Amino acid sequence: MSPTIQVSPVILCGGSGTRLWPLSRAGFPKQFLVLSGTTSLFQQAIERVHGLAASDIVLGDTLVVTNEEHRFLALDQLREMNDVAATLLLEPVGRNTAPALTIAALQAREDGHDPVLVVTPADQTVVDGAAFTEALQKSIRVADAGAIVILGITPTKPETGYGYIQRTGTIGHFGEYTVAQFAEKPDSETAQRYLASGDYSWNGGMFVLKASVWLKALKQFRPDIAQASEKAWADKKADAPFVRPHKELFTSISSESIDCAVMEKCPGSDILIKMMPLNAGWNDLGAWDAVWQVGIADGDGNVTIGDTLLADTTNTYIHASTRLVSAVGLDNLVIVETADAVLVADKNQSQHVKKIVTQLEQKKREEKDLHRKVSRPWGWYDSLDDGERFKVKRIMVKPGASLSLQMHHHRAEHWVVVRGTAEITNGEQIILLAENQSTYIPKGQTHRLRNPGVVPLEIIEVQSGGYLSEDDIVRFEDVYGR
C-alpha cells in the first residue's frame, strides 16, 4: 500500500472583479456572487477541492487567503457548507498572489508537516467536475515527488486575454509535460499560431506544489518577498478562525504575482516545473461575455436571470436583480440591472466595463464599492430612500447578533420593528420591542441594536440630521473588531 499524501487546499480569495460591475463591487466582489449554478464561485471552489480525497490523498484544513474587509463574507459562506474546516488568512492590504501563497505555505508548515498545496483562485467555474478532479489528483502525485505543477487549460479559441504555457513533447507517467516557457497575453495573430501548434495551453492560475518547494523557489528568485513575508508572518495574530500577519510589515512587501515572482523563472533552472493538461470546461468569468458563455441559453441564444421579458432579441445576456427588465429588437448586448445601477454594453466590449469603474472612482461615487443593500457581519442594511436631512433604511439583524455600541454626532434615529424582537440599548436604558413597536435615538445618545431571538430581526430606520454619511459612527464596543 502506497503512503498517503497530505494535501492542503489554498483558495486565493482576493480581487475586486471590476469587469463584472455593477453586480461585482469592491464591498461584494465576484467570487461571492452566484453567477452559475446555485452557489457562489467561492463555494464552488471549496467544493471542487474537497472532492480530491482518494486512497492515497488525505485532505487537511482548507486555507482561505482573503482580505480583512471580506472576512465575514467568506466566513458566512463557509458556514453555509457542510463539513468544511477552514482557516482564513487575512491580508491587511492586497499584495498580489505571491505574498498570499507565501503566508499560506508558512501556515501549512506550522505543525512541522510539508503538505502538497493545491492552489486555486476563488472566482472560476468548471463544467466537468470529474475531469477537474482527475487532473488535480494526478498533479498532486507529481508534486509529491518535488515538482511544481501548473494546470494548463486546453484552449478552445485563439484567446488574447490569457497568458499561455508552452510544453515540450515528452509526456510523463501521469500525463504531465515539462514546461518549455511562459508567454504573455498575445495579439490575435500570435494566439492563432499558438492554437494551431497544439503546444500551448492557457494559464488558469492553478498550481500544485509542496509548501517547502514554493518557499525554496521564492527564496531563490525573490528573496526580498520571502524575507518580508516571513517577518510579517512571525508577528501574526490568531483569532480563530482568523490569522492576521503583521499589518505594517505585510504592507511593506512587494506586490507581485505567483507567475512573475517564480513560475516564469523556473524553466531552465534547477526548479522542476511541469504542466498538467486540464480539459474540464474551465472559465474564469472575467467579463460579462464569459458569464453569457456558461449560462443556459434559450433558442435565440439569450441567457436571462431574474424577471425578464424579451421580444425579437438574440444572443443577449440580461440579469435583473430587483425589477422587470424587458428587451425588444436587441442583439449581442449585456444588460445588468441592480437596485442602484444599470449597465448596458455591447457583449464584444464587455472587457471594457472597468472603464466605467474608473470613472466612478474618479467621481468618488459610492456605486463603485457598495450596493444599495450592504452586507455586514451582523446582517445587512438596504438604503430605501434619502433626501435633504433624511435617510430611510431597512435593517436585518441575524439571530443572536448585534450592532456595535455606538453614537452619532450629527443624526438622530427612529426605529420601527417590523419583524422579530429587538433588544435596544438607548443611553442607560435597555428595552425590548416587538413587531409594530418603535423608539427614538436622540443625536449624541449611546445606543445598540441586538437580536435576542431565533428569527431574523427587521427594523425600519429613519435618520434625520444635517450629515447622514456612514462615517458618522463612534464605536465604543464591537464584537467584530471594527
Average pLDDT of the chain?
94
Residue 51 has pLDDT above 60, yes or no: yes
State what percent of residues in the chain have pLDDT above 90: 88
Phi, psi of 106 (to 5 degrees): -65, -40
Q: Tell me the longest C-alpha to C-alpha distance in the chain.
A: 76
Provide the whole-model pTM.
0.90
Please state whether the peptide bond connecting residue 223 to the residue before it is cis, i.e. omega within 30 degrees of 0: no
- Grouping H, G, I as helix, E, B as strand and the rest as coil, residue 142 is helix
Q: What is the mean pLDDT of residues 457-471?
A: 94
Bridge partner list, 9: 118
Distance CA 71, CA 482 (A): 12
- Look at the alpha carbons of 166, 171, 174, 179 in this order and tell me if their dihedral is positive or negative: negative
In which band, very low, low, confident or very high, does the pLDDT at 56 lie, cut at 50, 70 and 90? Answer: very high
Are 306 and 320 contacting, i.e. CB atoms less than 8 angstroms apart? yes
Q: Is the Cα torsion angle 202, 206, 209, 213 positive or negative in sign?
A: positive
Given pLDDT bands bounded at 50, 70 and 90, which one contains residue 240?
confident
* 1-43 pLDDT, tens digit each: 468 999 999 999 987 788 999 999 999 999 999 987 789 999 9
In three-state secondary structure terms, 118 is strand
Asked if 286 and 351 touch (Cβ cutoff 8 Å), the reply is yes
3-state secondary structure of 401: coil
Contact assessment for residue 12 and residue 122, using Cβ atoms and an 8 Å cutoff: yes
For residues 451 and 398, the answer to whether their CB atoms sit within 8 Å is yes
Q: Which domains does the chain have, with CATH numbers?
A: 5-278 (3.90.550.10), 289-358 (no CATH), 373-477 (2.60.120.10)
Q: What is residue 2's predicted lDDT score, i.e. its pLDDT?
A: 63
Q: At residue 278, does pLDDT exceed 70? A: yes
- 475/242 Cα distance (integer angstroms): 22
Q: What is the pLDDT of residues 408-456, one digit of tens each?
A: 999 999 999 999 999 999 999 999 999 999 999 999 999 999 999 999 9
Q: What's the confidence (pLDDT) of residue 480?
A: 83
Omega before 155 cis (within 30°)?
no
Provide the pLDDT for residue 125: 93
Query: What is the per-residue pLDDT across 196-238, written as a single tens digit (0 to 9) for each?
Result: 999 999 999 999 999 999 999 999 999 999 999 999 999 999 9
State pLDDT tens for residues 299-352: 999 999 999 999 999 999 999 999 999 999 999 999 999 999 999 999 999 989
pLDDT score recorded for residue 165: 96
Contacts of 299 (CB under 8 A, 6+ apart): none
CA distances from 318 to 18, 21, 225, 295, 305 (A): 18, 13, 43, 11, 6
The proportion of the chain whose per-residue pLDDT surpasses 70, expressed as a percent, equals 100
Under a CB-based contact definition with an 8 Å cutoff, are residues 96 and 256 in contact?
A: yes
Give which of 416, 123, 437, 104 is closest to 258, Cα–Cα.
104
pLDDT one-digit tens code per residue, 106-148: 999 998 999 999 999 999 999 999 999 999 999 999 999 999 9
Mind giving me the DSSP string for 94-112?
---HHHHHHHHHHHHTTTS
Average pLDDT over residues 168-177: 89
